[in-house]
Chains A and B, each alone.
Chain A
């Protein structure tokens, strides 16, 4: 079964410093991996996705993630945090196709706090 583990439930950074949100995955086959973001009182939004093309994936708002098969990791990074980045971030893996659906397995989330 596919699963993801987000290693930190809370991360706090200062504005202008780098962001690192860690995610490890477990999969019996080559997975598709995603990061979703949830801003306060808003719906979840896709940030970026890896689908076996380039291992370094760029997303919206300056975020990127690198797929490392040897480390089974898909960490999310950003060179310089902005106050508007404060949100909850979810690492996600597809389960594969069952009944025509594209089901997702979500990690437990990392709350990012950005301080002045």
Chain B
């Protein structure tokens, strides 16, 4: 089974702190994603990476950065946390994009990190 793990389930930080959220996958997937989930808004893509050291902005990258130094690990960084970044953060991974087949469109999600910024 694919396993995607996130370093913390719950996190409380103060405004202005630098925050690191870590995600590790064990299936040698090329693609990794960071989303935030807010009530009534669904999941919104922050950043994704399709290879080591490669990254691409998603829909809401402002206030975030990412790092992918190893294939299995994808980190989300909040340079200076703000209260509007209080949210559930979800990491996902998937095999390299294909147009069809059993893995098409399938992403494997971690359990999420609920971040509260005070």
Which residues of A are in contact with B by a Cβ distance under 8 Å?
Answer: 9, 32, 34, 41-46, 49, 51-52, 90, 92, 94, 97-104, 106-109
B97 touches A102 (CB 8 A): yes
Question: Which residues of A sit under 8 angstroms from B58, Cβ to Cβ?
Answer: 103
Chain B 30-63 interface 0/1 with A at a Cβ cutoff of 8 Å (1 = within): 1101010000111111001011001010100000
Tell me, in angstroms, the Cα distance from A100 to B96 when the chains sit together.
6
Which of B12-20, B70-78, B79-87, B105-113 sits within the interface? B105-113
Tell me, in angstroms, the Cα distance from A41 to B44 when the chains sit together.
19
B105 touches A101 (CB 8 A): no
Chief secondary structure at chain A's binding surface: strand
Tell me, in angstroms, the Cα distance from A98 to B41 when the chains sit together.
23
A43 touches B110 (CB 8 A): yes
**Of all chain A residues, which has the CB nearest B98?**
A102
Q: Which of A34, A90, A103 has the most CB of B within 10 A?
A: A103
**Of all chain A residues, which has the CB nearest B99?**
A97
Our pick among B48, B97, B112 for the contact of A97 (Cβ within 8 Å) is B97
Question: Which residues of A sit under 8 angstroms from B42, Cβ to Cβ?
Answer: 90, 106-109
Question: Which residues of B sit under 8 angstroms from A106, Cβ to Cβ?
Answer: 35, 42-44
**Interface range, B side:** 20 to 34
**Of all chain B residues, which has the CB nearest A94?**
B105
5 nearest CB pairs, A to B: A102-B97, A100-B50, A43-B109, A106-B43, A106-B42
Q: Given contacts A99-B54, A100-B31, A109-B42, is CB(A43)–CB(B107) below 8 Å?
A: no
Q: Given contacts A43-B110, A43-B112, A97-B97, is CB(A102)–CB(B40) below 8 Å?
A: no
Asked whether B90 is an interface residue with its Cβ less than 8 Å from the other chain, the reply is yes
Our pick among B45, B56, B104, B111 for the contact of A32 (Cβ within 8 Å) is B104
Tell me, in angstroms, the Cα distance from A107 to B33 when the chains sit together.
17
Q: Given contacts A43-B112, A90-B43, is CB(A104)–CB(B107) below 8 Å?
A: yes
Q: Given contacts A99-B54, A99-B56, A101-B56, is CB(A43)–CB(B4) below 8 Å?
A: yes
Tell me, in angstroms, the Cα distance from A98 to B45 when the chains sit together.
14
Our pick among A42, A104, A108, A109 for the contact of B105 (Cβ within 8 Å) is A104
